[in-house]
Amino acid sequence: MEVRGLIEQAFTQATSEGITAFHCGMAPDFDLIAGESILKFKIDSPRYRNIRLIPALPFPEHTATGSWAAAHARILDQADEVVHVTTRFSREVYLSRNRFMVDRSSLLICWFDGKAFSRGVQFSIVLPWLHSCEGEWWPGVIASRGWRRAGSERQPPFPRDSRLNPR
């Protein structure tokens, strides 16, 4: 199944479980494909018109170039709310954006093709595990839910790193 089909499957499952707001990190590839897929659901089906799409921009000037520029602009134009996670660019803006989204989520939908993690995907997946969440794996899509932070007996599959999880 292609990425869009997996996103649609994950979106349908999430909305059937009562999820009504979706943060989008606005990175080229998966983030923008997911954002456009959510917009398509909202436009094409009255059932999904109450769904909120909330792009989480790492900094106000964040944009996409090349073939992704139009999708980036379309999502920002049709979003229900746009969040600027930081006020200016720095080396940490993408990690801050990922932490912002993870900390506000009860479900994480992201793409993993079985190859090496990109830095963004790594932190988007590793951070929930560092928070000791339960993970549910779908073919090609990773959804994590069941946040158990305090007093959790479950150990994350990665060593704790105080730089990533200062609590």
* Whole-number Å distance between alpha carbons of 33 and 95: 20
User: What is the mean predicted confidence (pLDDT) over 103-119?
Assistant: 70
Encode pLDDT of 74-88 as tens digits: 999 999 999 999 999
Encode pLDDT of 36-46 as tens digits: 999 999 999 99
Protein fold of 3-110: Rossmann fold (3.40.50)
* Whole-number Å distance between alpha carbons of 80 and 21: 9
Q: What is the dihedral of CA 143, 33, 15, 151, to 10 degrees?
A: 30
In this prediction the pTM is 0.74
Whether residue 114 is predicted with pLDDT greater than 90 in this model: the reply is no
pLDDT of 123? 60
Pick from 80, 69, 61, 57: nearest CA to 28:
69
Give the domain ranges of the chain: 3-110
End-to-end CA distance of the chain: 39
Give the Å distances, CA to CA, from 123 to 48, 62, 65, 131, 152: 29, 19, 23, 12, 20
